[in-house]
Amino acid sequence: MAKATEQATTTVTTTVASDPIFAAIEAHAKASDEIWALHEDSLAVGPENAGHLPIEAAVAAELDAAKALINTAPSTQMGLRALEAHLREDRHRQARGFIARTHATEIGTYTSGDWSLENVDWLIAKRAAEIDSAA
């Protein structure tokens, strides 16, 4: 039993280390947490006393991390599931806005991004197809 647990732990550790999506998820979660912490701090002292530069820098960092997250393709099924879980968390909803979908209409095509869970489903299906085609 101990050997099986050790093998499973090694497999998970290797998967996390080799799939770039885990680093992107961690970076985005950290940036998002920083915004929420600064927001809570500003509520505690009042917006007139909070200052604006720390929150502006945190928002810029979160936006960069969100773009990187959406543009990073998971290379494993475990990474794909971690990405899906991360994007479904309400506190990370801002990242959903960077999911760009192209839509065809009778007058042409346009690209949209919104915070919907439908876009999360679309991105996960797209990334799953990419993983399957690479296998």
d(CA 16, CA 28): 16
Six-digit token string for 13? 């550790």
d(CA 85, CA 91): 11
- pLDDT digit string (tens) for the chain, length 135 residues: 555 445 444 444 556 778 999 999 999 999 999 988 888 887 777 766 666 667 788 889 999 999 999 999 999 999 999 999 999 998 888 899 999 888 788 998 877 777 889 999 999 999 999 999 998
| pLDDT at residue number 104 | 83
pTM of the predicted structure, to 2 decimals: 0.76
| pLDDT at residue number 53 | 64
